[in-house]
Amino acid sequence: MQAKLKEIGYKENFEAWLVADKDNWSDKQLKELYKWLQGNSNYGLALSNPKFEYWLLLHFEDGNNVKSSRDCDNRLKHYLPNYDKTIAPNKFVCGEIKKAAERAEKRDNACKGMPNAIGSAAVYKLIKRIFLAESR
């Protein structure tokens, strides 16, 4: 990310966001990402635990009792039977996205550090920034 920011000529009014899911990252690697965030309020990390699909699941339900990546996938397939890591751009409407953000914020345990518990999706922080930028 730092190389990309340097390449594009990062300016103070830019925001830089990393979107990642926990399932493929070690705690040590995630700690490095959190260090990167420190000291710059224009950097963000939209981390989902156990995986990005948990954020998608929150568009349909509260996401309670998700215990694993497989559990997350099975629950999501209930709502998106043919889901295969691709989604049409018009699949989710604004109201569903806002509802997912509300659900994620309620479940957020990332505000005190790294989201160690399965069942969190800090993607809502990025979504809130996008909606805020659109309203300006």
Is the predicted pLDDT of residue 129 greater than 60, yes or no?
A: yes
pTM comes to 0.84
Name the pairing type of β-strands 16-21 and 120-121. Answer: unpaired
Are 72 and 54 spatial neighbours (Cβ–Cβ below 8 Å)?
yes
- Of residues 109 and 2, more confidently modeled: 2
Which two structure tokens, joined as six digits, stand for 19?
């979107």
Are 105 and 124 spatial neighbours (Cβ–Cβ below 8 Å)?
yes
Range of the domain at 56: 2-135
Report which of 44, 23, 26, 25 is spatially closest to residue 34, judged by C-alpha positions: 44
The structural domain count of the chain equals: 1
Angle of helix 94-107 versus helix 123-135 axis, rounded to 10: 130
Which residues lie across from 20 on neighbouring strands?
A: 47
C-alpha to C-alpha distances, 74 to 18, 38, 70, nearest whole angstrom: 26, 36, 6
Is the predicted pLDDT of residue 110 greater than 50, yes or no?
A: no
Among 9-13, 60-64, 90-94, 97-101, whose mean pLDDT is lowest?
Answer: 9-13
Q: Which DSSP letter does residue 91 get?
A: S
